[in-house]
Structure 1
Amino acid sequence: MSNTADAIRSADAHSAHNYHPLPVVVASAQGAWMTDVEGRRYLDMLAGYSALNFGHGNRRLIDAARAQLERVTLTSRAFHHDRFADFCTELAALCGKEMVLPMNTGAEAVETAVKTARKWGYEVKDVPDGHAKIVVAADNFHGRTTTIVSFSTDHDARDHFGPYTPGFEIVPYGDLTALSHAVTENTVAVLLEPIQGEAGVLVPPAGYLQGVRDLTRERNVLFLADEIQSGLGRTGRTFALEHEGVVPDMYILGKALGGGVVPVSAVVADRDVLGVFRPGEHGSTFGGNPLACAVALEVIAMLRSGEYQQRAAELGDHLHHELNLLVGGGAVTAVRGRGLWAGVDIDPSRGTGREISEKLMGLGVLVKDTHGSTIRIAPPLVISKEDLDWGLDRLRSVLSA
């Protein structure tokens, strides 16, 4: 499309309205910057909800993809290919686990985690067949498949998509007492985000995640950690759980694992958990394909350097220092988050999160609202301090107008 209006008009006419994007039409991108169809540049402060942790067009990732494109892109799991074993070995090592089950999207990985936990419950814990329960947190966001929205408390995601899948118990996020009361002899897993992203980048109370780990271990229940948004460098550590020294039974990964190049997801656990699967019981035509493995292997190599975690920690400290200076000035009521990830609550007198996002877009900064009054800030980890400050200056300008 030649211009913004034509492109948006065509999209509105021919695509389902399951998203409400900002009125910008991106044509190219590099690093932390995107350019629209009319040549205007924007600082990307969302990074594809953490799928673009390593920036747009990262040369290492593009080169890895290009080299694999010339060789083989898909075999299906009907055959072995020469990138699969390395991918599984390296990702398992990064997580400190023994086995990997690769899929494509984050929602597929969560569905895989649910199936794994139930099968483990029946075959290892000896829960009566059909009675397995998984405890989840209110305000969660784990995806939008039918099973996942069955345990969502977000009305937009859940309403009118029933009948819903049973087997889930919802408790308040951060409430260890409620969690303890919800766990019964038929509970097979607790599924949590270490930081709730869609809910507004909610960080749980100190000690909560360690308490979850202790409780699940005591009650013979799996701890499934959805690190799809929070993991792979975003919070200043490889995994957000590391901030409390917690290791779950299973990591659920996605988004940044594909480097913003291809969709890659996986669940990673030890053999006593993932070993419950036998051939034919679960799979994916594209899961673990050669192209995905090649890109993800480069992502893992980049994370092993520690460079990106360190950048997220250092720039994250700066980001949160600057954002917290805005609290109490009449425009911002609260700031939450860790590393290069923040939820900023806007005083309703200054506008909705959507209105603030649109005003920032007008000044060349792209963020996205959530839950009405909150904007999320999550730039690529490759952003420079100068560009980050440039974006923060424009946020201050919008909030003071």
Structure 2
Amino acid sequence: MIEDMLRTPAAVQDAERYTAHNYHPLPVVISSAEGVWLTDVDGRRYLDCLAGYSALNFGHRHPALIAAAHAQLDKLTLTSRAFIHDQFADFCRELAALCGKELVLPMNTGAEAVETGIKVARKWGYQVKGVPAGQANIVVAEGNFHGRTTTIVSFSTDEDARADFGPYTPGFRIVPFGDLAALAGAIDEHTVAVLLEPIQGEQGVVVPPEGYLPGVRQLCTERNVLFIADEIQSGLGRTGTTFACEHEGVVPDMYLLGKALGGGIVPVSAVAADADVLGVLKPGQHGSTFGGNPLACSVATEVVRLLATGEFQRRSAELGERLHAGLRGLVGKGLVAVRGRGLWAGLDIDPALMSGRAACERLMERGVLAKDTHGSTIRLAPPLVITEAEIDHAVAQLAAVLAG
């Protein structure tokens, strides 16, 4: 029983009592972390196989990131965008170079980056493409997860995220993920953008069919539509390349970034695009008090520099092969299917065996923390600093759980 697993009942019960129940966390109370390991208030260690939904790609408390944060805390933390601070230009210039884009617009959360991308695409549609006022539409995919603001849940197909939050924002068309014909049929003269996750994370790490992303790129070019890639979870080294789009040689018109960009220290997000797209914004039309603040920029600049070495992308690609090989060995032994790229995997457990939640609870008992999604599916996304031995350990614990 879950009650038997509670080692810190007071802390868990207080969390349940004093917070809105918008999450259903595992009953573990973490007090410290280093690299890929978490320690609870009773001193028990756990291997982190979630990495804060990819916000901790570089592990907990990466020394370079912590040093950057400490140094900036002693100097300047916030000015607002009313003034320019000494960390801002370096961050924007270096992130733009990493993305191969001309301009960057810093924000805070992933949802803010998505909202920014939507606003920019609509304004581009009206001012550049010539779409009549109020007629712009954006095509999205079924099974998407782009955030939980009222506009974003308006085009969600997850009823848990969407139900009872209407009235919903119009202007979106939903097509099956991976279906180029459906996408082509949904684009018309008023379409300003196609907004997609290159790999759908919340849906269970769903990789589209080969050729899909190049097909999307070609359609968008032919129809004069922006291709917006939501790389908030899939980007910044998670799949073995800087961006998941790179696996098929695709360059979108706009990147939406977040999560790992803040190094697991502060929330940082950004939109990256060329001047003919992001240049449609003028002063006063969009902004954020905390977006691009000095503390965020100092940490995020160090993140960009870590990525610029290519080390973490290589680690993800090489160690990802080991992770997926181990997981494929469990298909037919409790797993029905394994999907993903790099150090990112979606696992479908035989529903007759147990739910995804039950699997995560049993993994927790064995010192591994993961997250379920959609019934019997769980996701594994360890920090990119994980070792071969730690990967083997995680797979062995999952095998033991599946074996009962």
Q: TM-score, normalised by structure 2?
A: 0.98
Equivalent residue letter for 1:363: R
TM-superposed deviation, 1:388: 1.2
Q: Structure 1, residues 173-224: CA drift from partner, whole Å, max 9, x if none?
A: 0000000000000000000000000000000000000000000000000000
1:202 aligns with 2:202: no
Q: Structure 1, residues 263-322: CA drift from partner, whole Å, max 9, x if none?
A: 000000000000000000000000000000000000000001110000000000011111
Q: Structure 1, residues 43-66: CA drift from partner, whole Å, max 9, x if none?
A: 000000000000001100000000
For 1:298 and 1:7, locate their aligned partners in 2 and report how far apart those are by CA, in whole Å: 35
User: Which among 285, 289, 304 is matched to residue 285 of structure 1?
Assistant: 289
Equivalent residue letter for 1:75: T
TM-superposed deviation, 1:347: 0.1
For 1:200 and 1:12, locate their aligned partners in 2 and report how far apart those are by CA, in whole Å: 27
User: Which among 352, 375, 379 is matched to residue 349 of structure 1?
Assistant: 352
Unaligned runs of 5+ in 1: none
Equivalent residue letter for 1:181: G
For 1:94 and 1:71, locate their aligned partners in 2 and report how far apart those are by CA, in whole Å: 27
1:5 aligns with 2:9: yes
| Aligned 1:265-284 pairs, distance under 5 A | 265-284=269-288
Equivalent residue letter for 1:372: G
Paired residues of 2:7 and 2:28 also in contact (CA < 8 A):
no
Q: What's the counterpart of residue 3 of structure 2?
A: none
Q: What's the counterpart of residue 373 of structure 2?
A: 370
1:157 aligns with 2:158: no
TM-superposed deviation, 1:328: 2.1
Paired residues of 2:345 and 2:381 also in contact (CA < 8 A):
yes
Equivalent residue letter for 1:32: V
1:53 aligns with 2:53: no
SS in 2 for 1:110: helix
Q: What's the counterpart of residue 33 of structure 1?
A: 37
1:224 aligns with 2:228: yes
Q: What's the counterpart of residue 43 of structure 1?
A: 47
Q: Structure 1, residues 327-364: CA drift from partner, whole Å, max 9, x if none?
A: 123x1110000000000000012100000000000000
SS in 1 for 2:241: coil
Q: What's the counterpart of residue 247 of structure 2?
A: 243
| Aligned 1:103-122 pairs, distance under 5 A | 103-122=107-126
Equivalent residue letter for 2:329: L
Unaligned runs of 5+ in 2: 1-5
For 2:92 and 2:367, locate their aligned partners in 1 and report how far apart those are by CA, in whole Å: 40
1:77 aligns with 2:78: no
For 1:74 and 1:153, locate their aligned partners in 2 and report how far apart those are by CA, in whole Å: 38
SS in 1 for 2:97: helix
Q: Structure 1, residues 346-391: CA drift from partner, whole Å, max 9, x if none?
A: 0012100000000000000000000011010000000111111111
| Aligned 1:86-165 pairs, distance under 5 A | 86-165=90-169
For 1:260 and 1:4, locate their aligned partners in 2 and report how far apart those are by CA, in whole Å: 25
TM-superposed deviation, 1:123: 0.3
User: Which among 331, 348, 361 is matched to residue 327 of structure 1?
Assistant: 331
Q: What's the counterpart of residue 394 of structure 1?
A: 397
Equivalent residue letter for 1:33: W
SS in 2 for 1:153: coil
User: Which among 62, 66, 71 is matched to residue 62 of structure 1?
Assistant: 66
For 2:222 and 2:378, locate their aligned partners in 1 and report how far apart those are by CA, in whole Å: 38
Equivalent residue letter for 2:375: G
For 2:7 and 2:362, locate their aligned partners in 1 and report how far apart those are by CA, in whole Å: 20
SS in 1 for 2:337: strand
For 1:22 and 1:327, locate their aligned partners in 2 and report how far apart those are by CA, in whole Å: 25
| Aligned 1:164-203 pairs, distance under 5 A | 164-203=168-207
Paired residues of 2:335 and 2:349 also in contact (CA < 8 A):
yes
User: Which among 388, 391, 399 is matched to residue 385 of structure 1?
Assistant: 388
For 1:128 and 1:74, locate their aligned partners in 2 and report how far apart those are by CA, in whole Å: 40
SS in 1 for 2:96: helix
SS in 2 for 1:348: coil
For 2:147 and 2:219, locate their aligned partners in 1 and report how far apart those are by CA, in whole Å: 26
Equivalent residue letter for 1:250: M
SS in 2 for 1:387: helix
Equivalent residue letter for 1:310: R
The runs of at least 4 aligned residues of structure 1 exceeding 3 Å deviation read: none
Q: TM-score, normalised by structure 1?
A: 0.99
CA RMSD of aligned residues (A): 0.8
For 2:146 and 2:56, locate their aligned partners in 1 and report how far apart those are by CA, in whole Å: 18
For 2:353 and 2:347, locate their aligned partners in 1 and report how far apart those are by CA, in whole Å: 13
Q: Structure 1, residues 86-116: CA drift from partner, whole Å, max 9, x if none?
A: 1100000000000001100000000000000
Over the matched positions of the two proteins, sequence identity in percent amounts to: 71
Q: What's the counterpart of residue 266 of structure 2?
A: 262
Q: What's the counterpart of residue 253 of structure 1?
A: 257
Equivalent residue letter for 2:345: A
SS in 1 for 2:352: helix
For 2:121 and 2:41, locate their aligned partners in 1 and report how far apart those are by CA, in whole Å: 46
For 1:261 and 1:312, locate their aligned partners in 2 and report how far apart those are by CA, in whole Å: 21
TM-superposed deviation, 1:326: 1.0
Equivalent residue letter for 2:196: L
TM-superposed deviation, 1:325: 1.1
Equivalent residue letter for 2:383: P
For 2:92 and 2:203, locate their aligned partners in 1 and report how far apart those are by CA, in whole Å: 31
1:361 aligns with 2:370: no
